[in-house]
Amino acid sequence: MVCIVHLTEKPVLNDPILIEGLPGIGFVANIATLHLINELKTPMFGQIHSSSFQDLAITTDNGKARHPTNELYYHKARDNEERDLIILYGNTQALTTFGQYELCGKILDTAHDLGSHLIITLGGLRRDEKITQPPKLYCAASNTETLKKATDLGAQIIEGQIYGIAGLLIGLSPLWNINAFCLLAETPGYYADAAAAREVLQATNKILHIKADMTRLDKAAQTTHEILKTFGMTTQPPDEKAKEKETYTWRI
């Protein structure tokens, strides 16, 4: 086993947008995509397993064991406005640099095979100071034209480093002839941040045009919080040492 994409179905999609929703700072992407999956009742069509995920099983109160995995869902537009979607959801990113590149390569292969030309990666931007509500949005993109799409959603340009899958996908996507931008909401980052998730989702939806009830987003945040607890992830404010290693704290 190395990094395997296991498709149970190959959906026929019309220029789908891939939304990346793996765990990260504030679990913003995780909450936002879980909400879409719940609301749209999107079918799961594949799983990604990697030997760079943790080597353990996690059991829940029903005793069924789960292991670290990424899941692929799709949504077919229900009217002329909605966009076809591929949703990447999961309970982990890869543990190593090598594994992250390998995982990104597999995600980009899959997006390319399904005819995607745009990837939106979601996430949180950690802020130590008090965050005004609604939290501000930040963005970066694989090229100038795609950046325009993100700034049109009300996001400011971010300067600096974007760690993990959210950053790597926008850096590597041009090699697959795919455009990509990331949309990050300010967050304290140490709990499942529903407000930040709502903000990135509402902004993204100006492109997706998905008719989804936002009232139940808190439920997705609550579920995410419970999954975190199962995985033994702390939800206390990080101390200085933890902050240094923040790229790790949000990985399972």
Partners of residue 47 on adjacent β-strands: 6, 71
Of 24-32, 34-42, 138-146, 192-200, the window that binds a copy of itself (rule: CB under 8 A) is 138-146
Residues between 181 and 210 that touch a copy of itself (CB under 8 A): 182
CA terminus-to-terminus distance, the chain: 20
Angle between helix axes 217-230 and 28-40 (nearest 10 degrees) is 120
Rank residues 72 and 150 by Cβ distance to a copy of itself and give the closer one: 150
Q: Is 241 in the site for a copy of itself (CB under 8 A)?
A: no
Report the nearest approach of a copy of itself to the CB of residue 164 (Å). Answer: 7
Burial class (CB in 10 A: 0-12, 13-18, 19+), 47: middle
Rank residues 120 and 210 by Cβ distance to a copy of itself and give the closer one: 120
CA–CA gap between residue 97 and residue 110 (Å, rounded) = 20
Report the nearest approach of a copy of itself to the CB of residue 75 (Å). Answer: 25
Report the nearest approach of a copy of itself to the CB of residue 140 (Å). Answer: 4
Report the nearest approach of a copy of itself to the CB of residue 57 (Å). Answer: 4
Q: Is 142 in the site for a copy of itself (CB under 8 A)?
A: yes
Binding mask 32-51 for a copy of itself (x = CB under 8 A): -----------------xxx
CA–CA gap between residue 167 and residue 90 (Å, rounded) = 17
Q: Is 151 in the site for a copy of itself (CB under 8 A)?
A: yes
Q: What is the DSSP string of 115-157?
A: T--EEEEEEEEE-SSPPPSSPPEEEEESSHHHHHHHHTTTPEE
Distance of CA 23 to the CA centre of its chain: 7
Report the nearest approach of a copy of itself to the CB of residue 67 (Å). Answer: 3
Binds a copy of itself (CB under 8 A): choice among 57, 78, 115, 211 = 57
Binds a copy of itself (CB under 8 A): choice among 8, 230, 234, 235 = 230
CA–CA gap between residue 44 and residue 38 (Å, rounded) = 11
Nearest to 200 by CA among 131, 135, 105, 140: 135
Q: Is 147 in the site for a copy of itself (CB under 8 A)?
A: yes
Residue 60 phi, psi (nearest 5): -105, 180
Q: Is 54 in the site for a copy of itself (CB under 8 A)?
A: yes
Q: Is 61 in the site for a copy of itself (CB under 8 A)?
A: yes
Q: Is 177 in the site for a copy of itself (CB under 8 A)?
A: no
**What's the CA angle centered on 1, arms 28 and 47, to 5 degrees?**
40
Of 29-37, 99-107, 112-120, 204-212, the window that binds a copy of itself (rule: CB under 8 A) is 99-107
Burial 216-249 (b: 16+ CB within 10 A, else e): ebeebbebbbebbeebebeeeebeeeeeeebeee
Where does this chain bind a copy of itself (CB under 8 A)? 1, 6, 49-68, 95, 97-98, 100-102, 104-105, 139-144, 147, 150-151, 157-164, 167-168, 170-172, 175, 182, 230-232
